[in-house]
């Protein structure tokens, strides 16, 4: 139905975005690719000789590399699972009639407004600290030994912190979707004697599928590059227990100032991110088809 | 200020206005969020009153973030800062690369000869000073006199590691929330590795032999690490593997530690009744040894340096002279009392009777600093300088990676043997990559 | 919901929901409370809830040490600036994709989103060098640019989903009436898309406000926003819980208050096309 003229106009209107994003992607990417085949350490200025794939070899055989891949996946999946399950439950709860719904909603969405750095600092010091933290006080009050979250369960702790930040986002999207559900359909099901569980399973969940997909897509994008929470709480440790790919690259390029190796790591991460992206796009593409 | 650097660097059109306003000089000062630096920032009014044509902009960051920011900026010649707070590790490496302006032509009043020789030596190349020390530190034992008394023990002035273990055992009272010893466990070359490398020196261990071969497979390192893990496992606080200097300071100040072996600068914080619940109960002793002739104490200074290429080297030098002068010490003394002046930089401070009286830790601090020898840090000879670090550019990365292994061992995730083996492998790998060994 | 609900049921819901809400909000509440304590009270065991000496001392200390209002203003300029510029670039693109979809529209959209997956640490040094050469280090202009680029894909996508929900018939009708492209966008499309745009704007201000990697690494003194401000309170010497809490409260308060006041607008449009 669109005419030739409107197609041309459309192209014209899309082009600023495309050109800017293309530049934003290609220029740093080009430089990263170029640096990744050089021996380039900021602390050792010199002529930065070409070394071929040496940086890639060192990055891929880095003792932390495999751990970083698994941790990245565990972090993304862990947070997704918690936020989607928690989000559905919260959305169902908030959808019920109650007093002061607006205030409850304000309380629930608040974590989303907190800077990752602040939330990591607060959790680390004021809650998870095994001596002065609130959990430690709680444990001792119950007569238990304080649990040392950040060294005994570093990755799980970080998953918890990140999930706390993203739970409101998932809840909001799921809640909006839930509220758009036709209530007559539910009532009809209720009349037919469907249990609440089967109503949820056969009517609500299919209706939420699209919203869940959206949550997965958006959160994955942000979760792949979780960084501040790790830097502040565990520095990727103990050992490599909470090092994800982003943090490993940070260690290489900014702690060791090895731009060559950091760039190689960046390229590897981009490739992996694209694999995830393709996978996601497939899924989303199916679910979001208009 | 930074605007006109950019103009020089070639982005002329964008920044032409930066040149016009040259009458007032603005210095951008990058510094660490440590107590003494925060105090300097608070007292900077004295400087600007004396030099109304110089305006100061402060960038105060947490240590690791600061180090990354300034290193990145100086190495890429970003020109963001006019004065940088850097450590004794960076100064010689950066000076060799001509990244720092030499601090020559300092005024007579400044009396550069007064700077403690052990510190000045580490900041000079061929007799030229490249950064001025703001405060210097070694490490020592800080302990609770009341708890030792209660246990019926006395801390020797120069304890051995065995003395430390006994004292830790006697003071530990977990039900009362008191842990016999607090030590750094957080991974980082400037965190747990500063303590462990210095401790290793006292056990006769070293990072590299004369051929730059890593030495983590030696018996001495094993003794070092097992002693540390043993002490912390039995008498240490929970969560020790994420404790750095600041976390331990908070623990000690709130009365949870019997002993703490750490930086001498902590002495003025733990004896300050405003911040510390145990201020009047703190005793001091030299860092422990194992009878091999070296003690487990380090030597460090935070210094102020001028990045090469700043367009206000004179103003920057004026500022550094002010911040590291005798007058500045007197100014802090006047406002905050002698106990709070930045320690460990000037000989004259340790000859000042007012200071010695106000600071019960002064004598032990000086003794500790004198006991550390960066040019000859270990029992067996080594090809490097630095007590708790190895002054090569690769060390930051290697030190932190090894620190992660030892931190994991402290958290109980791997054994001491595994940690040492991993440390050996990864250090060998990096040294090969750096071309030190084949 | 139209169904009749017993008061008992409603009361039960209320209790549970409030309990959960307070639990989720608790870390923030605790931070705010702690910011009014002294350092010693902040670590007291058992913890003090309300019976402590309320003090503003920590806020005074923080303000003496850091120029809060400069950081605050930088945060405002950077987050609002990048969002508005992003919006200006995104509206035409989203319009075109929604109303003149081509075969590859979906691919372009997904590609745009995928640019967000590049790990920022991997490209920091290249970007730092570019910024140095362009004189953009420590400038708000530079940060606005970076954050615009980072959030552009999200803005485009959100707008695209809202525009798609607008029935084509209305546009057809407008065209029949002889409205030009410009009229069509300004008088028909935008008014209908206002709720969606409002929520896009709000979400992106939040994301930009909280972005901590680029804002910290590309600034020094002049353009540093609140993310850099908070970096000077992470693990300083000595007892610091109360001061950290005060600084944290100051860093999150503006966006929290904005979020609360505008939550209706934010929530209404936050669907990402998830609702049909």
Q: How far is CA A102 from CA A91, A128, B17, C243, in A?
A: 13, 30, 51, 31
* Same domain assignment for residues B101 and B169: no
d(CA C190, CA C175): 15
Q: How far apart are CA C64 and CA C56, in angstroms?
A: 13
Residue from the list B28, B33, B42 with its beta carbon closest to the beta carbon of C220 = B28
Q: Which pLDDT does position B4 carry in this prediction?
A: 46
My answer on whether B143 and B251 are in the same domain is yes
**Is residue B376 one of the residues assigned to a domain?**
no
Q: Is the Cβ pair A96, C181 closer than 8 Å?
A: no
CATH assignment of A65-242, given 2.60.120.10, 1.10.3720.10, 3.40.50.300, 2.40.50.140? 1.10.3720.10
In a mutational test of the A interface, the residue from C142, C274, C276 whose CB has the highest number of chain A CBs within 10 Å is C274
Residues B305 and B259 in one domain: no
Instruction: Calculate how close chain B gets to C229, using CA atoms only, in Å.
Output: 8
- Residue C273: pLDDT band with limits 50, 70, 90: low
Residues B307 and B342 in one domain: yes
CB A266 within 8 A of CB A36: yes
B182 and B274 in a single domain? The answer is yes
Residue B281 has what DSSP assignment? G
Statement to judge: residues B349 and B254 lie in one domain = no
CA distance B210 to chain C (A): 35
Q: B with C: how many residue pairs have Cβ under 8 Å apart?
A: 107
Tokens found for residue C46: 């058992």
C85 membership: H or E segment, kind and range? helix C68-99
For residue B380, give the nearest of B292, B297, B299, B300 by alpha carbon. Answer: B292
- Put simply, the answer to whether A270 touches C119 (Cβ < 8 Å) is yes
How far apart CA C107 and CA B263 sit, in angstroms, is: 58
- Claim to verify: residue B161 and residue B221 sit in the same structural domain: yes
Structural fold of domain C66-232? MetI-like fold (1.10.3720)
Band (B16; pLDDT cuts 50, 70, 90): very low
Domain parsing of chain C, residue ranges = 7-59, 66-232
Task: State the sign of the Cα–Cα–Cα–Cα dihedral B229, B235, B239, B240.
Answer: negative
Name the minimum distance, in Å, from the CA of B277 to any CA of chain C. Answer: 9
Contact check, Cβ <8 Å, C135/B61: no
Structural domains of chain B, count: 2
Answer whether A290 sits within 8 Å of C164, measured CB to CB: yes
Identify whether residues B246 and B317 lie together within a single domain.
no
Q: Is residue B368 part of a domain?
A: no
B39 contact C CB<8A: no
**What is the C-alpha to C-alpha distance for residues C171 and C175, in angstroms, rounded to an integer?**
6
In this prediction, residue B17 has a pLDDT band, given cuts at 50, 70 and 90, of very low
User: B100, B307 in Cβ contact below 8 A?
Assistant: yes
Buried b (16+ CB within 10 A) or exposed e, B406-434: bbbbbbebbebeebbebbbebbbbbbebb
The pTM of this model reads 0.87
pLDDT(C175) > 60: yes
Q: Does pLDDT of B228 surpass 70?
A: yes
Residue B374 lies inside a defined structural domain of this protein: no
Which residues of chain A lie closer than 8 angstroms to C100, CB-CB? 2, 6-7, 9-10
Answer whether B153's CB lies under 8 Å from B176's CB: no
Does the distance separating the beta carbons of B33 and C233 come in below 8 Å?
yes
Q: Which residues of C touch B69 (CB under 8 A)?
A: 216-217, 220
C233 touching B, CB under 8 A?
A: yes
Q: Are C239 and B250 within 8 A, CB to CB? A: yes
Shared domain for B101 and B13, answered yes or no, is: yes
Residue from A237, A122, C46 nearest B401 by CA: A237
- 3 state SS of C54: coil
Q: Looking at the structure, do residues B151 and B7 belong to the same domain, yes or no?
A: no
Would you call B175 an interface residue with chain C, using a CB distance cutoff of 8 Å?
no
CA of C216 vs chain A CAs: smallest distance (Å): 11
Instruction: Show pLDDT as tens, one digit a residue, over chain A (290 residues).
Output: 456 667 788 888 888 888 999 888 888 889 889 999 988 888 887 778 888 888 899 889 888 899 999 999 999 999 999 999 999 999 999 988 888 888 898 899 899 999 998 999 999 988 888 878 889 888 888 888 888 888 889 999 999 999 999 999 999 889 888 888 877 887 888 888 888 888 888 888 888 888 898 888 889 888 988 988 998 888 887 888 999 998 998 888 777 888 888 899 988 988 888 888 788 777 766 665 54
Range of the domain at B103: 2-130+299-358
**Which pLDDT score is estimated for B199?**
95
Q: How far is B193 from chain A (nearest CA, A)?
A: 14
Which among B308, B264, B275 has a CA at the least distance from the CA of B95?
A: B308
Q: What is the pLDDT averaged over residues C175-188? A: 73
DSSP-based three-state secondary structure for B321: helix
d(CA A190, CA B390): 74
CA-CA distance, B428 to B430, in Å (whole number)? 6
Based on the fold, state whether residues B9 and B96 are members of the same structural domain.
Answer: yes
Q: How far is CA B321 from CA A159, B87, B118, B325, C206, in A?
A: 48, 17, 20, 6, 44
Residue from A289, A99, A106 nearest A209 by CA:
A289
pLDDT at C60 over 80: yes
What are the pLDDT digits (tens) for B392-434? 988 988 998 999 999 999 999 899 999 999 999 999 998 998 8
Q: How confident is the model at residue C1 (pLDDT cuts 50, 70, 90)?
A: very low
- Residue of B403 and B12 predicted with greater confidence: B403
C-beta of residue B288 within 8 angstroms of C-beta of residue B141: yes
Confidence of residue B11 (pLDDT cuts 50, 70, 90): very low
Residue B369 domain flag: no
pLDDT tens digits for range C217-241 = 888 888 889 988 888 887 666 668 8
C267 token code pair: 């929530």
Token couple for B362:
């002064």
Q: Are residues B27 and B78 in the same domain?
A: yes
Question: Are β-strands B124-125 and B83-87 bridged in parallel, bridged antiparallel, or unpaired?
Answer: unpaired
What's the CA gap between B355 and B335, in Å, rounded? Answer: 14
Contact map slice: A 188-247 vs B, CB within 8 A:
233-241
- End-to-end CA separation in angstroms for chain A: 17
pLDDT above 50: residue B8: no
Mean pLDDT rounded to a whole number for chain B: 89
């Amino acid at each position: 139905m669109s005419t030739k003229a409107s197609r041309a106009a459309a192209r014209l209107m899309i082009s600023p975005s495309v050109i800017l994003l293309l530049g934003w992607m290609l220029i740093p990417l080009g430089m990263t690719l170029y640096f990744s085949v050089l021996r380039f350490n900021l602390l050792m200025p010199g002529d930065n000789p070409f070394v071929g794939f040496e940086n890639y070899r060192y990055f891929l055989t880095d003792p932390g590399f495999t751990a970083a891949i698994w941790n990245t996946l565990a972090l993304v999946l862990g947070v997704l699972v918690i936020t989607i399950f928690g989000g559905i439950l919260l959305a169902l709860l908030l959808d019920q009639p109650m007093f002061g719904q607006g205030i409850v909603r304000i309380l629930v969405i608040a974590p989303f407004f907190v800077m990752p750095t602040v939330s990591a600092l607060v959790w680390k010091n004021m809650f998870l600290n095994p001596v002065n933290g609130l959990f430690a006080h709680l444990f001792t009050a119950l007569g238990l030994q304080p649990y040392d979250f950040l060294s005994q369960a570093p990755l799980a702790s970080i998953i918890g912190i990140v999930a706390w930040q993203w739970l409101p986002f998932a809840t909001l999207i799921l809640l909006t979707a839930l509220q758009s559900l036709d209530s007559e359909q539910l009532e009809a099901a209720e009349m037919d004697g469907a249990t609440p569980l089967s109503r949820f399973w056969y009517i609500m969940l299919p209706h939420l599928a699209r919203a869940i997909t959206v949550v997965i897509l958006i959160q994955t994008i942000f979760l792949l590059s979780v960084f501040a929470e790790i830097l502040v709480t565990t520095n990727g440790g103990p050992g490599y227990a909470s090092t994800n790919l982003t943090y490993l690259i940070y260690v290489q390029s900014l702690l060791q100032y090895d731009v060559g190796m950091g760039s190689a790591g960046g390229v590897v991460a981009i490739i992996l991110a694209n694999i995830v992206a393709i996978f996601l796009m497939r899924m989303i593409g199916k679910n979001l088809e208009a | 200020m930074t605007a006109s650097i950019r103009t020089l660097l070639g982005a002329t059109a964008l920044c032409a206005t930066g040149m016009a306003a040259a009458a007032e000089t603005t210095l951008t000062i990058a510094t660490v969020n440590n107590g003494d630096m925060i105090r300097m920032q608070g007292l900077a009014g004295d400087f600007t009153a004396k030099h109304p044509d110089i305006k100061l902009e402060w960038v105060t960051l947490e240590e690791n973030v600061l180090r990354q920011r300034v290193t990145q900026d100086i190495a890429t010649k970003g020109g963001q800062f006019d004065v940088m707070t850097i450590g004794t590790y960076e100064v010689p490496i950066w000076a060799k690369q001509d990244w720092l302006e030499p601090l020559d032509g300092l005024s007579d009043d400044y009396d550069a000869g007064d700077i403690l020789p052990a510190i000045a030596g580490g900041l000079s190349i061929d007799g030229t000073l490249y950064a001025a020390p703001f405060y210097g530190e070694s490490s020592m034992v800080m302990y609770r006199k009341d708890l030792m008394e209660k246990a019926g023990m006395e801390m020797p002035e120069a304890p051995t590691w065995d003395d430390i273990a006994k004292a830790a055992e006697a003071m530990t009272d977990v039900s009362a929330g008191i842990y016999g010893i607090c030590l750094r466990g957080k991974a980082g070359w400037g965190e747990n590795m500063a303590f462990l490398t210095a401790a290793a020196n006292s056990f006769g261990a070293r990072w590299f032999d004369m051929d730059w071969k890593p030495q983590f497979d030696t018996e001495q390192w094993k003794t070092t690490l097992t002693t540390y893990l043993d002490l912390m496992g039995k008498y240490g606080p929970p969560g020790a593997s994420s404790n750095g200097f600041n976390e331990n300071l908070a623990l000690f100040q709130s009365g949870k530690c019997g002993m703490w072996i750490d930086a001498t600068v902590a002495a003025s914080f733990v004896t300050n009744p405003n911040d510390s619940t145990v201020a009047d109960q703190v005793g001091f002793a030299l860092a422990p040894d194992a009878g091999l002739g070296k003690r487990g104490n380090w030597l460090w200074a935070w210094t102020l340096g001028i990045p090469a290429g700043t367009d206000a080297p004179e103003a920057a030098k004026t500022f550094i002279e002010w911040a590291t002068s005798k007058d500045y010490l007197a100014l802090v003394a006047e406002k905050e009392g002698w106990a709070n002046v930045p320690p460990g930089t000037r000989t004259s401070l340790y000859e000042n009777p007012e200071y010695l009286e106000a600071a019960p830790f002064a004598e032990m601090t000086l003794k500790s600093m004198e006991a550390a020898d960066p040019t000859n840090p270990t029992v067996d000879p080594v090809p490097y300088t630095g007590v708790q670090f190895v002054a090569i550019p690769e060390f930051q990365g290697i030190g932190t990676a090894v620190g992660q292994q030892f931190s994991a061992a402290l958290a109980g995730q791997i054994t001491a043997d595994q940690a040492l083996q991993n440390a050996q492998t990864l250090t060998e790998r990096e040294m090969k990559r750096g071309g030190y060994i084949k | 919901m139209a169904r009749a609900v017993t008061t008992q049921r409603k009361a039960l819901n209320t209790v549970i929901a409030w309990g959960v809400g307070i639990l989720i909000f608790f870390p923030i509440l605790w931070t705010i409370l702690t910011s009014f304590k002294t350092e010693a009270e902040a670590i007291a065991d058992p913890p003090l809830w309300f019976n402590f000496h309320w003090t503003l001392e920590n806020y005074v200390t923080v303000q003496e040490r850091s120029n809060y209002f400069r950081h605050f203003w930088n945060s405002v300029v950077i987050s609002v600036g990048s969002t508005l510029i992003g919006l200006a670039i995104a509206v035409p693109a989203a319009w075109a994709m929604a109303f003149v979809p081509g075969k590859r529209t979906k691919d372009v959209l997904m590609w745009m989103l995928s640019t967000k997956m590049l790990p920022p640490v991997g490209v920091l040094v290249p970007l730092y060098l570019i910024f140095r050469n362009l004189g953009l280090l420590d400038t708000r202009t530079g940060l606005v640019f970076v954050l615009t680029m980072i959030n552009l894909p999200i803005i485009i996508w959100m707008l695209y989903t809202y525009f798609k929900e607008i029935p084509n018939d209305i546009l057809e009708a407008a065209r029949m009436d002889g409205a030009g492209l410009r009229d069509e966008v300004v008088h028909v499309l935008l008014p209908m898309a206002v709720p969606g745009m409002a929520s896009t704007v709000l979400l992106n201000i939040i994301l930009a406000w909280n972005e901590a990697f680029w804002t910290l690494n590309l600034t020094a003194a002049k353009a540093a926003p609140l993310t850099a401000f908070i970096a000077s309170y992470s693990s300083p010497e000595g007892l610091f819980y109360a001061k950290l809490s005060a600084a944290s409260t100051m860093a999150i308060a503006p966006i929290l208050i904005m979020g609360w006041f505008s939550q209706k607008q934010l929530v209404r449009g936050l669907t990402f096309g998830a609702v049909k």
